[in-house]
Amino acid sequence: MQKPIVIFITNYPENHVISERARIFSKSISDIAIIKVLYRERNIGRIKSFWSRLYILNKNPPNLIFTFDGFISTELPTFIASIFYKVPYICDTACDIYDEYKIKDKRLIKFLSYKIFHLILRRAKVITCRGLIQKIVFESRYLNKNIIHVSEGVIYDKWQENSMIKKDELFNNVENPLIIGVIGSIVWDENLGWAYGLEVIEVLKRLRFKNICGLVLPSPTSSGAAIKMLNEIALKYDLQNKFKIIDNVHRDILPNYLATIDICISTQIPNIIGEMRTTAKLPEYMAAGRYILATKVGDARFYLHKDMLIEYESSGKYYDELSKRVDCIEKNREKLLDGRLNKAKAKSNFSYEYLIPIVREEIEKILFQSKL
């Protein structure tokens, strides 16, 4: 008897944390199903990606589809396939598109888009929410009867490596630097005038006479224009010798670079999208035992010690408080050892060893429900 076919569709390039999530979940069922993972090429637009995925699903309809984000390029072709071929699907998502369009105020397309998206969510066999608060919000909106929490994941052992990269090789003009930094998608938000990495520059600007440097590690979905803008802002404040963006770091060697960062920063804006999310970088910061400074927004408040959380009232107040915290740690670097306390929490809450059985059980229910 032939194994059922399961297609995993991600809205991200192969070298992305969510694509890694798709691969891990797919491999976990390779003994019971024929699996295939579809990635989105970095320079391929959403419309072209939509038609490509629709063609694949039409040519050889699978027994189950597992989607990871992406309204147009993943969820919409999946929804169409489910209508024409009765293919069940699972939606793995971090937020509701309704909130995104509400914040950005795209009036002409907002109503139709979120109505279709809600139809997609309601038709799904299961919705896997990556945030605890997100699950509560989705349940309050009655988006589906089967909503489960499957947090952002981390390959725990991968992040235990000690860095082979020396700090003085990154910043050879600064003696014994304290390095602050971020990893993530660097995309400029016109409404906020902000992108990940800007908070690093703001701290360096306020503490320019300290031995503090900033490192930004962009994810594959980052915008080249946004990266250029951050470098220009750093140059404007004469911080180019203390601020560095290293692009195109493969995920296999990313732990080596992360291990050079003493203080990892996680900034989420306190809007509905920020509150619903656990950013993918947080489990990696924690697993690596880094000291973390995060806004008291979303699920970070459930996992981090109160000393690592910062209230976000406005960008200016946040940058000031963030700078004060960094300055205190620079004067007392033994405080950095507290980051090691995050390791156990990362293993118990985000390790794929913990998440895989949850996902596999849901997949088996769908594939073999007639036998149960």
Alpha carbon of 124 to those of 66, 121, 134: distances in Å? 10, 5, 17
Domain coverage including residue 70 = 5-153+351-367
Closest CA to 149 of 354, 292, 300: 354
Q: What is the mean pLDDT of residues 250-257?
A: 90
Q: Are residue 118 and residue 168 in the same domain, yes or no?
A: no
Q: Are residue 184 and residue 322 in the same domain, yes or no?
A: yes
Listed as own residue / partner, the contacts of 42-50 with beta carbons closer than 8 Å and 24 or more positions apart are 42/13, 42/220, 42/221, 46/70, 46/72, 46/73, 47/72, 49/11, 49/73, 50/76, 50/77
Q: pLDDT digits over 154-187, tens only?
A: 999 999 867 778 887 888 878 889 999 999 999 9
Q: What is the mean pLDDT of residues 13-20?
A: 93
pTM score over 0.85: yes
Q: Are residue 115 and residue 203 in the same domain, yes or no?
A: no
Question: How many domains is the chain partitioned into structurally?
Answer: 2
Ranking 109-118, 242-251, 284-293 by mean pLDDT, the lowest is: 109-118
Q: pLDDT digits over 70-118, tens only?
A: 989 999 999 999 999 999 999 999 887 777 766 666 655 667 888 899 9
Q: Are residue 108 and residue 204 in the same domain, yes or no?
A: no
pLDDT at residue 165, as a whole number: 82
Ranking 62-66, 71-75, 111-115, 136-140 by mean pLDDT, the lowest is: 111-115
Q: Is 198 a member of any domain?
A: yes
Q: Are residue 140 and residue 13 in the same domain, yes or no?
A: yes
pLDDT at residue 109, as a whole number: 60
Q: Is 343 a member of any domain?
A: yes
Q: Is 20 a member of any domain?
A: yes
Query: Distance between CA 252 and CA 158 in Å, rounded?
Result: 8
Q: Are residue 289 and residue 196 in the same domain, yes or no?
A: yes
Query: Distance between CA 218 and CA 6 in Å, rounded?
Result: 31
Q: Is 325 a member of any domain?
A: yes
Q: What is the mean pLDDT of residues 242-256?
A: 92
What CATH code is carried by the domain that includes residue 316?
A: 3.40.50.2000
Q: Is 372 a member of any domain?
A: no
**HEC secondary structure over 66-134:** EEECCHHHHHHHHHHHHHHHCCCEEEEECCCHHHHHHHHCCHHHHHHHHHHHHHHHHHCCEEEECCHHH
Q: Are residue 224 and residue 260 in the same domain, yes or no?
A: yes
Q: pLDDT digits over 294-311, tens only?
A: 999 999 999 999 999 999
Q: Given a cut of 90, is residue 221 above it in pLDDT?
A: no
Between 191 and 233, where is the model more confident? 233
Closest CA to 295 of 311, 271, 283, 281: 311
Q: Are residue 86 and residue 177 in the same domain, yes or no?
A: no
Q: Are residue 302 and residue 342 in the same domain, yes or no?
A: yes
Q: What ranges in the chain are assigned the alpha helix state H? A: 17-27, 46-59, 76-85, 97-104, 107-123, 132-140, 167-170, 198-206, 224-236, 254-258, 272-276, 281-287, 300-303, 315-331, 342-350, 352-367
Distance, first Cα to last Cα, the chain: 18
Q: Is 199 a member of any domain?
A: yes
Q: What is the mean pLDDT of residues 318-345?
A: 96
pLDDT at residue 353, as a whole number: 95
Q: Are residue 216 and residue 338 in the same domain, yes or no?
A: yes
Q: Are residue 326 and residue 243 in the same domain, yes or no?
A: yes
Q: Are residue 234 and residue 106 in the same domain, yes or no?
A: no
pLDDT at residue 372, as a whole number: 43
pLDDT at residue 272, as a whole number: 85
What would the two tokens of residue 43 be?
A: 């320079």
What rounded mean pLDDT belongs to the chain? 91
Q: Given a cut of 90, is residue 138 above it in pLDDT?
A: yes
